[in-house]
Amino acid sequence: MGKFPDNFLWGGSTSAYQVEGAWNEDGKVPSVQDMREPFPGTSDYKVATDHYHRYKEDVKLFAELGLNSYRFSIAWTRIIKEDGSINEAGLKFYDNLINELISQGIEPIPTVYHFDLPYWISQKGGWQNRETIDLFVDYCEVLFDNFGDRVRYWQTINEQNIHVFMSALMDGKDYSWRETFQGNHHMLVAQAKAMKVYHEGKYPGKIGPAPNISCVYAASESPEDQMAAEYAAAFRNWLFLDAAAYGTYNPQALSIMRKLNAVPYMTDEDLEIMRENTADFIAFNYYSSMTVKASDGDTKIKKGDQQLGFVVPGIFEAVSNPKLEKTEFSGWEIDPLGLRITANQMYSRYGLPLLITENGLGQADELTEDGKIHDDYRIDYLDKHIKQVSALINEDGVEMIGYCPWSVIDLISTHEGYKKRYGFIYVNRDDFDLKDLKRIKKDSFYWYKNVIEANAIED
């Protein structure tokens, strides 16, 4: 049996806009996710999983599942109004949620920002506007002051790299490379300033980023493909983690920005703030590895799917890996060993504790006539990945804080709606029929419960 440490955090993940609903209730203002048109054939977020009204029921199920942690996000739009004032009703909701979790023996692990920028900030330029830096920091300080006494692990920005490379998906705008990396720089500075506020406030926990990280393979043994893989890893991964962990820009990533004529404007003060305020741990999301070949320069720039990769002409081009199986739903490559490689790369590079905050299989689950969901495919996927987490701890000596798969309960996939489900708990609705929103435990619920109770995974 692959045993886990006694203090290991077994959890599950969600995000506010994908699970809460109540999009305009109790003083909440619209986010970019509320205002953009849904992808064809998918639902909006107005009701979602209705967690806002059913959080006590849901937390009770999380406790039955055996979770000792829950990674969720806080909606900026519930906390701060357009005039900058605090929405007390929004604070009260998260205060109640956190207290309910703690009462059930579940550690709250909040993410400050998960793709749901307030719409009014977006209308003023969003992350391309330097003013957003201080708006973000002010928002974070409100959260730290109100919940910092009960939270040990804070995550700043969920999947900043995906936010950067897939802006059209996240907020409906497709930016130039220069605009893209200017907004990214502002996010990096905002993150550093938030960490400064946290550390100077002497709150009792830790704070860190939550990017989507994937190891990058070369498509062949050729030196050109090997170099392409080095550049792709720098661009996709180390640009974001070097900034959070070292407080510096990755030189290979800067080289790519120069070739794209996209180096952001940055002040000496920006760079000093980044250098002096770094992460205590690294949360990361992992779904698949990435394989690249050298680009001949004739291909067009492509910002692609978060797992299927993208192209930077003359530098690297993502390709399919024939050695890996693919998910039926999205065509993402399944690579459990890639999780171990990825985590080892991060731990060797930064030496910081690691927390897995997303990992899972999206599938079109079917409810049987007798009201059950047999999701053996999800059990198989998670079993293989958890075995690699065990190997990271027991064989490689990597300090792993916990494992929070995506997602603990069914929620709306950002671009594939309710057809693509991830949860241990089924929610009885589809994209255009809310039905009764009944919660139903899947087979994977009982399997994961047994893993948690054993605190081990069978080899």
Burial of 301 (0-12, 13-18, 19+ CB in 10 A): exposed
User: Which residues lie below 8 Å from residue 439, measured CB to CB, with a gap of 6+?
Assistant: 54, 57, 58, 61, 409, 425, 426, 427, 428
Question: 70 - beta bridge partners?
Answer: 108
Q: Determine what percent of the chain is predicted with pLDDT higher than 70.
A: 96
Q: Look at residue 132 in the predicted model and tell me its pLDDT.
A: 97
386-433 per-position pLDDT tens digit = 999 999 999 999 999 999 999 999 999 988 899 999 999 999 999 999
Band (pLDDT 50/70/90 cuts) for residue 70 is very high
| pLDDT greater at residue 330 or residue 35 | 35
Beta-strand relationship, 325-326 and 333-334: antiparallel
CA 339 – CA 148 distance, rounded (Å): 31
User: DSSP states of 223-279 as a string?
Assistant: HHHHHHHHHHHIIIIIHHHHHHHTSS--HHHHHHHHHTT-PPP--HHHHHHHHH---
Catalytic-residue membership of 458:
no
Helix (H) and strand (E) counts in the chain: 17, 18
Q: Look at residue 40 in the predicted model and tell me its pLDDT.
A: 86
Residue 169 pLDDT > 80: no
Q: Look at residue 2 in the predicted model and tell me its pLDDT.
A: 86
Task: Report CA dihedral (408, 210, 114, 305) to the nearest 10 degrees.
Answer: -90
Residue 301 pLDDT > 90: no
Mean pLDDT across the chain: 94
Tell me which DSSP letter residue 406 carries: B
Q: Is-above-0.75 flag for pTM?
A: yes
Residue 51 pLDDT > 70: yes
Mean pLDDT of 355-378: 95
8-18 per-position pLDDT tens digit = 999 999 999 99
Mean pLDDT of 330-354: 96
Residue 298 pLDDT > 60: no
Phi, then psi, of 34 in degrees rounded to 5: -70, -35
Task: Say whether 374 sits in a helix, a strand or coil.
Answer: coil
Q: Look at residue 308 in the predicted model and tell me its pLDDT.
A: 66
Q: Look at residue 170 in the predicted model and tell me its pLDDT.
A: 61
User: Which residues lie below 8 Å from residue 303, measured CB to CB, with a gap of 6+?
Assistant: 165, 166, 167, 168, 310
User: Which residues lie below 8 Å from residue 210, measured CB to CB, with a gap of 6+?
Assistant: 111, 155, 156, 157, 158, 159, 283, 284, 285, 357
Which residue in 285, 284, 215 sits closest to 245, CA to CA?
Answer: 284
Residue 172 pLDDT > 80: no
Band (pLDDT 50/70/90 cuts) for residue 284 is very high
Catalytic-residue membership of 358:
yes
Whether residue 273 contacts residue 190, with contact meaning beta carbons closer than 8 Å, is answered with: no
Spot the catalytic one: 107, 159, 317, 333. 159
Burial track 260-272 (b if 16+ CB lie within 10 A, e otherwise): bebbbebeeebbe
Residue 304 pLDDT > 60: no
Mean pLDDT of 87-94: 98
Handedness of CA 434, 440, 443, 444 (dihedral sign): positive
User: Which residues lie below 8 Å from residue 156, measured CB to CB, with a gap of 6+?
Assistant: 111, 112, 113, 140, 191, 194, 195, 207, 208, 209, 210, 244
Band (pLDDT 50/70/90 cuts) for residue 84 is very high
Which residue in 435, 403, 269 sits closest to 336, CA to CA?
Answer: 403
Between the two ends of the chain, the Cα-to-Cα distance in Å is: 5
Q: Look at residue 325 in the predicted model and tell me its pLDDT.
A: 93
Mean pLDDT of 143-163: 96
CA 126 – CA 106 distance, rounded (Å): 34
Whole-Å CA distances, 93 to 25, 87, 101: 11, 10, 12
Whether residue 228 contacts residue 293, with contact meaning beta carbons closer than 8 Å, is answered with: yes
Q: For 211-215, 306-310, 407-411, which range has the lowest pLDDT when averaged over its residues?
A: 306-310
Band (pLDDT 50/70/90 cuts) for residue 33 is very high
Between 376-394 and 443-454, two packed helices, what is the crossing angle to 10 degrees?
20
Phi, then psi, of 390 in degrees rounded to 5: -60, -45
Q: Look at residue 164 in the predicted model and tell me its pLDDT.
A: 87
